[in-house]
Amino acid sequence: MSARFDLPEADGFTRTYWDAAARGRLLLRRCGECGRPHHYPREFCPHCWSEDVDWEPASGRATLYTWSVVHRNDLPPFAERTPYVAAVVDLAEGPRMMTQVVECAPDRLRAGMPLEVTFADGVPVFRPGG
């Protein structure tokens, strides 16, 4: 059995996020001090450094900011998935997120196109829609 590089390794802090993702829900962190959301999840607010930060459900809506079509990746199991679309999306709530776009031919991708979250093996990815 070879290592897999596509599965999350949850720790005490991120387990809430990954457990929600496994149930098909995308979570954000929002600061109780300045009110701003952020992603990826951190234990403190990256805007004002407050530790008064909590989880909240995201809408799952996003727009495509940028992307790259990956044709080679030697880390298992990505080799058998190429080509795939590595992307950065702007969540409707504001934070920018590294992810993948699925269910869309690369030549149909457009900057700014609306996307919606879906889940692959408990990992949030995005597809056209929303």
Side chain identity at 53, as an amino acid letter?
A: V
- Work out whether 48 is an interface residue with Zn ion (CB under 5 A): yes
Which long-range contacts does 98-104 make (Cβ < 8 Å, 24+ apart)?
Answer: 98/40, 99/124, 99/125, 99/126, 100/125, 100/126, 101/64, 101/67, 101/125, 101/126, 101/127, 101/128, 102/126, 102/127, 103/127, 103/128, 104/128
CB nearer to Zn ion: pick between 30 and 61 = 30
Binder among 21, 26, 45, 87 for Zn ion (CB under 5 A) = 45
CB nearer to Zn ion: pick between 27 and 117 = 27
Contact predicate 22/93, CB 8 Å: no
- Work out whether 50 is an interface residue with Zn ion (CB under 5 A): yes
- Work out whether 75 is an interface residue with Zn ion (CB under 5 A): no
- Work out whether 117 is an interface residue with Zn ion (CB under 5 A): no
CB nearer to Zn ion: pick between 33 and 116 = 33
CB nearer to Zn ion: pick between 87 and 91 = 91
Positions 77 through 116 that interact with Zn ion (CB under 5 A): none
Size of the site for Zn ion (CB under 5 A): 7
